[in-house]
Homo-oligomer: A and B are copies of this chain.
Amino acid sequence: MLEVLRAADDHPTAAEVYERVRRSSPRIGSATVYRTLALLVSTGRALELNLGDGAAARYDANTRRHDHAVCDGCGRAVDIDHPVPDGMMAEIARRSGFAITGYDLQFRGLCPDCQANGSDPARAAGGTGPTVNTHAKGALHAEA
């Protein structure tokens, strides 16, 4: 299970992990996949990502603190490694009165593939082929 995650370069949803694990263990049930993912997350061996588009959670074996850029066309998420300045966190904490423990940041836009296939973006991104989320669910990226 962790192997599957480590081997994944995309950021698979639980359903995608299930599908992949099933190839080597066809008798596994989805409950076990959810249980195991939760365990990996709670023991710090994986990250659960909520990319702010209201879609299913994604899982990431890369536990270093990092952010993502999410493609509005095909849903692909790529790693972004560019920490927010510390001073900013302190400033936010001071102004809000919150005890800030962390932050989630994601950029939205179009990936190179979807920029190319300008029209009907939600179909590009073929490549090695992670499932594409067709149903875009309304005006996204308005968030936060």
Measuring CB to CB, which residues of chain A are less than 8 angstroms from any residue of chain B? Answer: 38, 41-42, 44, 47-54, 57, 66-69, 71-72, 78, 80, 82, 84, 88-89, 91-93, 95-112, 115, 138-139, 141-144
- B41, B108, B143: which contacts A100 (Cβ < 8 A)? B108
Report whether A110 and B99 are in contact in the complex, using a CB–CB cutoff of 8 Å: yes
- B47, B57, B143: which contacts A54 (Cβ < 8 A)? B57
Residue in B closest to A41 when the chains form the complex, CB atoms:
B139
A interface, over-half SS = mixed
CA distance A121 to B94 in the complex (A): 21
Pick 11 A–B contacts, CB within 8 A, sort by A: A41-B138, A47-B142, A49-B143, A51-B144, A67-B144, A96-B107, A101-B110, A103-B144, A104-B141, A104-B143, A106-B144
